[in-house]
A and B are shown apart, each in its own frame.
Chain A
Amino acid sequence: MRERRSIIISALVTIAFAGVPFFLNVDTSYFAYYLFLSFCHIVIAQGWNFVAGYTGQISLCQNAFFGLGAYTTALIWLHDVTKTGYYFDPVVMVLSGLVPVILAVIIGIPLLSRLRGDYFALGTLGVQFIIQVLFLKGGAFTRGADGLHLPSTVFESMKPYYWTGLFLALFATAVVYFLIKSRAGLALRAIREDEISAAAHGIHVLKYKIFAFAVGAFLAGICGSLYAWYLFHINPDSVLNLNWLFYPILICVLGGNGTITGPIIGAFFITALFSLGTVYMAQTHPILSGALIIFVMKFMPTGLVGLKDRILSRG
């Protein structure tokens, strides 16, 4: 009963969001841009949520996967690899998701088998820095700090961005939701609770961890691909930026890590905060954001979703 109700509610919310471009001029409205950015944040945050919230592995290289997805899209387009229409081409998008998956498996096997907890977090942070330097020093292939320029003449309207963003946000949420419901999700949560006990119950710990890591990488990659079509100019400063590492973490933890609605609420909240800050208090808003993070973590460590539960259980 509860499940059916939540499915109906999410369908209604999705239809409402999908209808926004019919009432609002998406090309000029800042609100529509805000929604688009929130959708991007939902996609990348759900990826991190799956790795860190449900599997308990704090990965600090989400920005590397995001940047790799964006670069893959740009390189396929510029080198004319797949011979399809490159602008909003699903083939390119899937490939941009798969390349980070390959990286995730390659670095996941040594890192996840040998490192745990904080050490895994530090290791992935190191990987992220190495990827940054590699793209910065990539020579003619990545064109260094200047980066790659895509033909921006194909741009017509923000509408496809908006709908694709909405679709990806829905897709990411659905992927995480159904994976968590499945047998694999049960194994992942068992690993989060107690790794040794999970192994004793016949769960192949390393295999499932790498699976979770790869799913997170895939979601970050397709999000990077969409963002590459939006930017048309891919350089390490814009797509490998540390903000793409910190924002998903902030979003998940503020919203409620390890819950399905947490990243969605967190993404709308954080993006609103940062967008409003940029518009109204250009210089001082990061100070307030920092103070807010401290405040939320100190007084409601379970996030906004947990706050709702706490109020409900009290009343």
Chain B
Amino acid sequence: MLEYLTFGLITQLFVNGILFGTMYGIAAIGLSLIFGTMRIIFLAQGAMIVFFAYISYWLFTLLGVDPYLSLIFVVPLSLLLGSGFYSSLFKEAAALEDKNISLLIAIGLMFLVENLMTVVWTANPRSILTTYSSFVFRPIGIIIPFTRLIALLMAVLSASGVLLFLKKTLIGMAVRAASEDMESATLMGINPHWVNVVAFSIGIGLAGIAGVGLATIYSFDPMYGFIFAIKALIALAFGGMGNVFGALLGGIILGLLESWASFFIGAGWADAISYAVFLIMLMLKPEGLFVRSVQTA
């Protein structure tokens, strides 16, 4: 196998990994915000991403709306759904000491959304085919599909947007304070429900962006979401909880790991390798790879 290993191939694997990993990254940022403020492992994130992919698919096939244009509709919808989920489902559970309850509500939501999608859109895989779906760039012999490049751009832009929001606005600062210490933040006059609503809406909003990105790149089916959520959790553990760019980088590392492992060891083993690295990570550096000191975070 080694004789095929040229510089071009190595770069191609590298680029593939990065393009792959950004999708995990955006999902992981959403999970990180939700986990940071409420300590909820929101397993339904993957199902939500697939749900928004279907919304984008519907807009495309029924109304002929371009998938990237559908962001204008999908993002507000996802923000609204996020705040709706929080105030109808997680409001009481987030305040409880026992975190199993919110985890189970998330699992119930995942069952509900996945099977609703199976009934509405059937279990057949769907994908969006536009005029530019097969368009590729070829700088120095490396193949970069146009849709993946746009997905990368969307990921970086949304991560920067979330980061700016957290750093520069008052509500963003409240969210950061709450994820460091909810009790002290409440004592400082921060309303925990407000912070949670904001964090949840942004989390689901990022799922909306990831959903549109997913719809343009892969073919998807209703049950695809769970694996996606698990991958996002792994990315989150790589990056460290509550670290926005860490989560994005964690996703990219996971993408690189998968692309290398599936090339050198075999596609079926790639998942086992990433879980094994994830376990080793948890043992040796549970705080994540990209933690900074508490003062500057």
Interface residues in chain A, defined as those with a beta carbon under 8 Å from any beta carbon in chain B: 52, 58, 110-111, 114-115, 117-119, 121-123, 125-127, 129-130, 133-134, 136-137, 242, 246, 249-250, 253, 257, 283-284, 286-287, 289-294, 297-298, 301
Contact = CB atoms under 8 A, between A and B. Distances in A.
B93 interface: yes
Interface in B262-287: 268-269, 271-272, 275-276, 278-279, 282-283, 286
Contacts of B96: 301
Contacts of B282: 114-115, 119, 122-123, 126
Nearest to B286: A119
A125 B236 CA distance: 15
B230 to A, nearest CB: 7
Interface in B67-121: 89, 92-93, 96, 98-101, 103-105, 107-116, 118-119
B28 to A, nearest CB: 13
B85 to A, nearest CB: 10
Interface of B: 39, 41, 89, 92-93, 96, 98-101, 103-105, 107-116, 118-119, 226, 230, 233-234, 237, 268-269, 271-272, 275-276, 278-279, 282-283, 286
Contacts of A58: 100, 103
A114 B282 CA distance: 8
A129 B41 CA distance: 18
Contacts of A110: 283
A67 to B, nearest CB: 15
A144 to B, nearest CB: 9
B233 A122 contact: yes
A242 B89 CA distance: 24
Contacts of A134: 272
Contact of B112 (A119, A122, A257, A287): A287
Contacts of A123: 279, 282
Main secondary structure of the interface of A (DSSP, over half): helix
A14 to B, nearest CB: 30
A294 B108 contact: yes
B104 A287 contact: no
B108 A287 contact: no
B279 A284 contact: no
Nearest to B110: A290
B233 to A, nearest CB: 6
The listed residue with most B CB atoms (<10 A of its CB), out of A118, A126, A133, A301, is A126
A287 B119 contact: yes
Contacts of B114: 286, 290
11 contacts: A115-B282, A118-B39, A122-B233, A126-B276, A126-B282, A284-B115, A290-B112, A290-B115, A293-B104, A293-B105, A297-B105
Given A114-B283, A118-B41, A286-B111, A130 B100 contact: no
A257 B100 contact: yes
B112 A130 contact: no
Contacts of A291: 108, 112
Contact of A115 (B103, B116, B268, B283): B283
B104 A133 contact: no
B172 to A, nearest CB: 24
Given A283-B119, A301-B96, A246 B107 contact: yes
A14 B137 CA distance: 70
A28 to B, nearest CB: 30
A294 B112 contact: yes
Contact of A133 (B103, B116, B271, B279): B271
A17 to B, nearest CB: 29
B115 A286 contact: yes
Given A129-B230, A297-B101, A290 B283 contact: no
Contacts of B105: 293-294, 297-298
Contacts of A127: 275, 279
B116 A298 contact: no
A293 B108 contact: yes
Given A110-B283, A118-B41, A293 B111 contact: yes
Contacts of A301: 93, 96, 98, 101
A54 B278 CA distance: 28
Contacts of A125: 230
A298 B89 contact: yes
B269 A133 contact: yes
Nearest to B284: A114
The listed residue with most B CB atoms (<10 A of its CB), out of A52, A58, A127, A130, is A130
Contact of A122 (B101, B107, B237): B237
Contacts of B41: 118, 121-122
Contacts of B107: 246, 249-250, 293
